[in-house]
């Protein structure tokens, strides 16, 4: 996904780090207090995770939570199990927006133990694994690599851990057979099983997110990818890979989970090459389809019929529109990069680019000088005109033949703008039009809203919610922190849109819980949360605790406050404080004195448990550190407010002066976090625990969009106290010339042709 929420700025080969310290991202989002409908409650359910990105359940109700770094955690009986279900972190490329973003259990998991993972591959692992050059402690990031799908099998009692030896690669066995990844985002998405038992996966375009990328784009790894065979010369077309039939990028693929082969009922299946991209492609024209879900009750159980069911896809847009797509048949083309949302994308329409997989039969070098069709020749806006017009660019009297893949844009039923505009697709006769949802003439009534990163949600079948919230589709936006309710008819046509919940945090996943409630992941909290209807169940109370002092010399008197704890039903609560030193209190707001031996830093974990009359409990913890003080942290490099060069990658040293009155250097844990801020979104790097290290700063900026880097160091002493410092870096635009940008209302037509030009987007960096 190329979007995380943004912090406001104040006026190569990398060593792999194994972090022992679990630290939340602490990235603020467009959020305040959670806002859910009356009668609903938003609750934190599972914490202690490391960048969770999704969850699912087996038929027995056990939850599987997968983390971006390449691990899967089990949650059972109200607790996270200590042993990882799966750990392929040495193989996963966990950088920028990349990682292990997709996971699925086989429909027959309890019998066969199969599970499937979708991930970006660490280039060092891709190119060196199995050779003497491979080092499991080394990563190679910011370089060309691939995306991969693999199957593992769980073993042992309860199927609680996977067998590493069961690893079977279904897609991406080699650098030449994977899904190309040539930039810092737009990589893996979701794994979903169709009703017919086929395995579906979504992939991004693998192109640049910061400019019109029609191939050989600055800042992408195209030259390295060509040299390695990761892409063919015909695939060096940037975002237009989404329009190449024989390429995995920007596609939903459909395959046999036993072999990874394409399914014969796929729209472009080639019986002579069932593992080719075209044999596995189900739908195309996507940019960054981070999440998708299957509508229950749709599809056939027979894979030969080519009907796995209706997929609801959240496609993250570029600078203007976010999409909710519905894919209910094979061969659909959602338009990217020639369309964003329902509209043509002027930048890519003007970037006329040849499709080297589509030769023009009229080409003779004299009368026709266009040897290959251009992508712009092969895709038209959605229309109800028949037959569809696909004129040959050399002679409009000749239609492009049907054996050349040609497409009509499948518009999203709903799109929403960066800002505050939401629309539905409609028709004016045979012409595609759209209506704002709050327009009285809109065929789909709904509120005006905006968003910045479309996150597909879930078709909600639970019975814990009131009737009006059952059998509806919930969709989310990541930086927007909202979930909205969408109603569709049986033909997948949008009926209405309603507000549901807002200010929830950075949402990366929405799913239904086994309890019939709506669960989601708040990435900025490293937490799984749920929205539950309070009127049908006696909910757990929410413990809230504060303290007036965190650290100090012995004896240390601390005033605690627990009276801010709440019960969803408004019932009276009882309190139990455990001070971690053998003493307890049942007061709501007790005072307690902590002691420790002289000059001995001692930490106590204090827990407040509140209980309602029904016996339901909620707990929260604080720490008190006696004879201790936090470290003093000052970042020396980079200098706060410094500039970085544009257009090149810079290796920036990370150094700091750190002192601690009670602890030596060997008792301090470092956590460096480097975050690229892009407009309203961010791209965080994994935590680096080396005291002195470096960060790769890619030269983004000075192109009319906002870019900056945040470097944050948190140091924690052995007694649990932490301190942080932050430095900001900004692009050096002083030597950048003004940028001319022009759009037109027409790109072709019969003469005399009147064209209106607009240069209003030109800018001076």
Q: pLDDT tens-digit profile of 283-315?
A: 999 999 999 999 999 999 999 999 999 999 999
What is the spatial distance between Cα 657 and Cα 638, in angstroms, rounded to a whole number? 12
Q: State residue 536's pLDDT score.
A: 76
Q: State residue 692's pLDDT score.
A: 95
Preceding peptide of 120 cis, ω within 30°: no
What is the spatial distance between Cα 762 and Cα 332, in angstroms, rounded to a whole number? 35
DSSP string, 214-244: SSS-TTS-HHHHHHHTSS-GGG-SGGGGGG-
The CB-side HSE value for 452 (13 A sphere, CA atoms) comes to 19
Preceding peptide of 474 cis, ω within 30°: no
Cβ atoms of residues 409 and 335 within 8 Å? yes
Tell me: do 294 and 438 sit in the same domain: yes
What is the spatial distance between Cα 632 and Cα 714, in angstroms, rounded to a whole number? 10
> CATH code at 231?
2.120.10.30
With 0-12 CB in 10 A as exposed, 13-18 as middle and 19+ as buried, what is 615? exposed
Q: Which residue has the tokens 């990682």?
A: 99
Tell me: do 589 and 647 sit in the same domain: no
Is it the case that residue 80 has pLDDT exceeding 50? yes
User: Is residue 262 included in any domain, yes or no?
Assistant: yes
Closest to 222 (Cα-Cα) out of 203, 198, 240, 206: 206
pLDDT band at 762 (very low <50, low <70, confident <90, very high): low
What is the spatial distance between Cα 73 and Cα 69, in angstroms, rounded to a whole number? 12
Structure tokens at 231: 């892409």
Tell me: do 636 and 622 sit in the same domain: no
Between the CA of residue 481 and those of 287, 506, 511, 534, what are the distances in Å? Answer: 21, 5, 15, 22
Closest to 208 (Cα-Cα) out of 734, 698, 702: 698
Top pLDDT among 94 and 15 is at 94
Range of the domain at 669: 632-731
User: Is residue 739 included in any domain, yes or no?
Assistant: no
pLDDT band at 740 (very low <50, low <70, confident <90, very high): low
DSSP string, 448-509: ----SSEEEEEEE--SSS-GGGSSEEEEEETTTTEEEEEEE-TTS-EEEEEEEEB----EEE
Q: Average of pLDDT values for 599-628?
A: 95
Between the CA of residue 435 and those of 375, 414, 737, what are the distances in Å? Answer: 28, 10, 39
Q: State residue 3's pLDDT score.
A: 41
What is the spatial distance between Cα 42 and Cα 539, in angstroms, rounded to a whole number? 11
Q: Determine how β-strand 79-80 pairs with β-strand 414-417.
A: unpaired
Reported as a single tens digit per residue, the pLDDT across 337-390 is 999 999 999 999 999 999 999 999 999 999 999 999 999 999 999 999 988 999
pLDDT band at 30 (very low <50, low <70, confident <90, very high): very low
- The sign of the CA dihedral 696, 701, 705, 711 is positive
Strand partners, 611: 574, 617
Cβ atoms of residues 101 and 188 within 8 Å? yes
Tell me: do 153 and 292 sit in the same domain: yes
pLDDT band at 641 (very low <50, low <70, confident <90, very high): very high
Q: State residue 303's pLDDT score.
A: 98
Strand order in the sheet with 591-594: 546-547, 556-561, 591-594
Record the pTM.
0.85
Q: State residue 685's pLDDT score.
A: 82
Closest to 708 (Cα-Cα) out of 719, 699, 721: 699
DSSP symbol at 368: -
User: Is residue 8 included in any domain, yes or no?
Assistant: no
Structure tokens at 409: 């844009």
User: Is residue 418 included in any domain, yes or no?
Assistant: yes
Tell me: do 493 and 616 sit in the same domain: no
Closest to 722 (Cα-Cα) out of 636, 655, 663: 663
Structure tokens at 166: 């069961």
What is the spatial distance between Cα 479 and Cα 312, in angstroms, rounded to a whole number? 20
Q: State residue 21's pLDDT score.
A: 25
User: Is residue 156 included in any domain, yes or no?
Assistant: yes
Tell me: do 342 and 240 sit in the same domain: yes
Q: 626, 658, 693: which is the final residue of a domain? A: 626
Tell me: do 700 and 724 sit in the same domain: yes
Please give the mean pLDDT across all residues of the chain.
Answer: 91
Q: 580, 611, 626: which is the final residue of a domain? A: 626
Point out the least confidently predicted range of 273-287, 292-306, 402-416, 743-757. Answer: 743-757
Top pLDDT among 536 and 146 is at 146
What is the spatial distance between Cα 754 and Cα 723, in angstroms, rounded to a whole number? 63
Helices then strands, counting H and E runs in the chain, come out as 5, 56
User: Is residue 660 included in any domain, yes or no?
Assistant: yes
Q: State residue 330's pLDDT score.
A: 98
Cβ atoms of residues 95 and 141 within 8 Å? yes
pLDDT band at 4 (very low <50, low <70, confident <90, very high): very low
Q: Average of pLDDT values for 224-252?
A: 98
Tell me: do 413 and 557 sit in the same domain: no
Tell me: do 119 and 36 sit in the same domain: yes
3-state secondary structure at position 587 = coil
Q: State residue 534's pLDDT score.
A: 86
Residues making up the chain, counted from first to last: 765
What is the spatial distance between Cα 308 and Cα 301, in angstroms, rounded to a whole number? 8
Closest to 243 (Cα-Cα) out of 201, 213, 263, 275: 213
pLDDT band at 8 (very low <50, low <70, confident <90, very high): very low
The CB-side HSE value for 564 (13 A sphere, CA atoms) comes to 7
Q: State residue 749's pLDDT score.
A: 55
What is the spatial distance between Cα 732 and Cα 305, in angstroms, rounded to a whole number? 56
Phi–psi pair at 243, nearest 5 degrees: -100, 0
Reported as a single tens digit per residue, the pLDDT across 652-675 is 999 999 999 999 999 999 999 998
Q: Average of pLDDT values for 733-757?
A: 64
User: Is residue 559 included in any domain, yes or no?
Assistant: yes
Top pLDDT among 179 and 751 is at 179
Reported as a single tens digit per residue, the pLDDT across 151-167 is 999 998 899 999 999 99
Cβ atoms of residues 504 and 518 within 8 Å? no
Tell me: do 579 and 513 sit in the same domain: no
Reported as a single tens digit per residue, the pLDDT across 538-591 is 888 989 999 999 999 999 999 999 999 999 888 999 999 999 999 999 999 999
Structure tokens at 396: 């409009």
Q: State residue 267's pLDDT score.
A: 99
pLDDT band at 34 (very low <50, low <70, confident <90, very high): low
Q: Determine how β-strand 311-315 pairs with β-strand 291-294.
A: antiparallel
How many Cβ atoms are within 10 Å of 428's Cβ, its own excluded? 8
Q: Average of pLDDT values for 712-718?
A: 95
pLDDT band at 7 (very low <50, low <70, confident <90, very high): very low
Structure tokens at 292: 């998708």
What DSSP element (H or E) covers 322? strand 321-327
Q: Average of pLDDT values for 172-184?
A: 97
CA angle 676, 216, 758 (to 5 degrees): 80
Structure tokens at 587: 């007061």
Q: State residue 496's pLDDT score.
A: 98
- The sign of the CA dihedral 753, 758, 759, 761 is negative
> CATH code at 683?
2.60.40.10
Structure tokens at 751: 């003469």
Question: E strands within 375-461?
Answer: 379-380, 391-392, 395-399, 407-408, 414-417, 422-428, 431-436, 454-460
With 0-12 CB in 10 A as exposed, 13-18 as middle and 19+ as buried, what is 720? middle
Tell me: do 606 and 716 sit in the same domain: no
Share of the chain above pLDDT 90, in %: 83
Preceding peptide of 513 cis, ω within 30°: no
Structure tokens at 518: 């709506």
Q: How many domains does the chain have?
A: 3
Preceding peptide of 752 cis, ω within 30°: yes
Is it the case that residue 709 has pLDDT exceeding 70? yes
Tell me: do 601 and 638 sit in the same domain: no
Q: 572, 594, 626: which is the final residue of a domain? A: 626
Share of the chain above pLDDT 70, in %: 92
Q: State residue 751's pLDDT score.
A: 63
Cβ atoms of residues 634 and 726 within 8 Å? no
User: Is residue 510 included in any domain, yes or no?
Assistant: yes
Q: State residue 701's pLDDT score.
A: 84
Q: State residue 462's pLDDT score.
A: 87
Q: State residue 746's pLDDT score.
A: 55
Is it the case that residue 431 has pLDDT exceeding 60? yes
Between the CA of residue 416 and those of 315, 321, 492, 497, 572, what are the distances in Å? Answer: 11, 6, 18, 12, 44
């Amino acid at each position: 996904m190329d979007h995380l929420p943004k912090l406001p700025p104040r006026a190569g080969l990398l060593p792999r780090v194994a972090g022992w310290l679990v630290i939340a991202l602490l990235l603020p989002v467009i959020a305040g207090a959670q806002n859910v409908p009356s009668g609903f409650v938003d609750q934190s359910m599972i914490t202690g995770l490391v960048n969770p990105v999704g969850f699912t359940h087996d038929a027995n109700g056990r939850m599987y939570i997968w983390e971006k770094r390449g691990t899967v955690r089990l949650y059972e009986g109200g607790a996270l199990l200590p042993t990882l279900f799966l750990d392929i972190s040495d193989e996963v490329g966990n950088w920028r927006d990349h990682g292990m973003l997709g996971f699925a259990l086989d429909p027959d998991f309890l019998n066969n133990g199969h599970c499937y993972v979708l991930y970006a591959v660490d280039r060092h692992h891709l190119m060196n694994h199995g050779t003497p050059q491979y080092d499991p402690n080394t990563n190679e990031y910011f370089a060309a690599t691939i995306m991969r799908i693999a199957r593992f099998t769980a073993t042992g009692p309860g199927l609680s851990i996977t067998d590493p030896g069961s690893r079977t690669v279904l897609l991406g066995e080699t650098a030449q057979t994977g899904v190309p990844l040539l930039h810092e985002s737009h990589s893996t998405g979701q794994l979903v099983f169709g009703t017919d038992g086929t395995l579906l996966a979504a992939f991004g375009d693998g192109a640049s997110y910061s400019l019109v990328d029609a191939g050989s784009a600055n800042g992408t790894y195209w030259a390295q990818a060509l040299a390695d065979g990761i892409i063919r010369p015909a695939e060096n077309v940037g975002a237009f890979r989404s329009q190449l039939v024989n390429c995995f990028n920007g596609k939903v693929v459909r395959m046999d989970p036993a072999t990874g082969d394409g399914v014969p009922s796929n729209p472009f299946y080639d019986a002579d090459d069932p593992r080719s991209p075209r044999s596995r492609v189900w739908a195309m024209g996507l940019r960054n389809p981070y999440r998708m879900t299957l509508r229950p009750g749709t599809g056939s159980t027979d894979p030969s019929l080519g009907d796995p069911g209706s997929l609801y896809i959240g496609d993250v847009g570029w600078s203007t529109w976010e999409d909710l797509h519905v894919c209910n048949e094979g061969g659909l083309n959602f338009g990217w990069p020639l369309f964003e949302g329902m509209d043509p994308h002027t930048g890519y329409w003007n970037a006329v680019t040849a499709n080297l997989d589509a030769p023009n039969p009229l080409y003779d070098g004299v009368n026709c000088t266009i040897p290959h069709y251009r992508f712009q020749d092969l895709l038209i806006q959605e229309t109800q005109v028949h037959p569809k017009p696909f004129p040959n660019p050399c002679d409009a009297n000749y239609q492009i033949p049907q054996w050349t893949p040609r497409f009509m844009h499948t518009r999203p039923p709903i799109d929403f703008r960066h800002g505050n505009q939401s629309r539905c697709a409609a028709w004016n006769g045979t012409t595609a039009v759209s209506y704002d949802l709050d327009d009285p003439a809109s065929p789909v009534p709904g509120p005006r809203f905006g968003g910045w990163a479309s996150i597909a949600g879930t078709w909600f079948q639970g019975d814990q919610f009131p009737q009006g919230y059952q059998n509806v589709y919930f969709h989310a936006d990541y930086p927007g922190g909202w979930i909205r309710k969408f109603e569709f008819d049986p033909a997948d046509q949008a009926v209405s849109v309603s507000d549901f919940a807002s200010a929830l945090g950075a949402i990366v996943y929405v799913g239904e819980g086994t309890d019939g409630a709506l669960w989601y992941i708040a990435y900025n909290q490293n937490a799984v949360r749920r929205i539950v209807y309070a009127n049908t169940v006696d909910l757990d109370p929410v413990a809230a605790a504060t303290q007036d002092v965190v650290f100090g010399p012995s004896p240390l008197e601390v005033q605690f406050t627990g009276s801010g704890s709440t019960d969803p039903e408004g019932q009276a609560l009882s309190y139990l404080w455990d001070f971690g030193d053998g003493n307890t209190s049942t007061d709501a707001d007790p005072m307690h004195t902590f002691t420790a031996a002289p000059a001995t830093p001692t930490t106590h974990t204090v827990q407040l448990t509140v209980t309602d009359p029904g016996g339901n409990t909620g707990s929260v913890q604080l720490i008190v550190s006696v004879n201790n003080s936090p470290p003093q942290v000052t970042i020396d490099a980079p200098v706060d407010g410094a500039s970085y060069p544009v257009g090149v990658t810079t290796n920036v040293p990370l150094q700091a002066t750190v002192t601690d009155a009670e602890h030596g250097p060997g008792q301090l844990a470092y956590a460096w976090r480097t975050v690229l801020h892009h407009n309203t979104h961010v791209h965080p790097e994994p935590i680096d625990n080396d005291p002195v290290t470096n960060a790769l700063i890619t030269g983004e900026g000075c192109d009319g969009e906002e870019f900056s880097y945040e470097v944050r160091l948190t140091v924690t002493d052995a007694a649990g106290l932490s301190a942080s410092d932050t430095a900001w870096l900004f692009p050096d635009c002083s030597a950048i010339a003004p940028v001319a940008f022009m759009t037109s209302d027409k790109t072709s037509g019969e003469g005399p042709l009147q064209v209106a030009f607009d240069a209003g987007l030109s800018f001076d960096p």
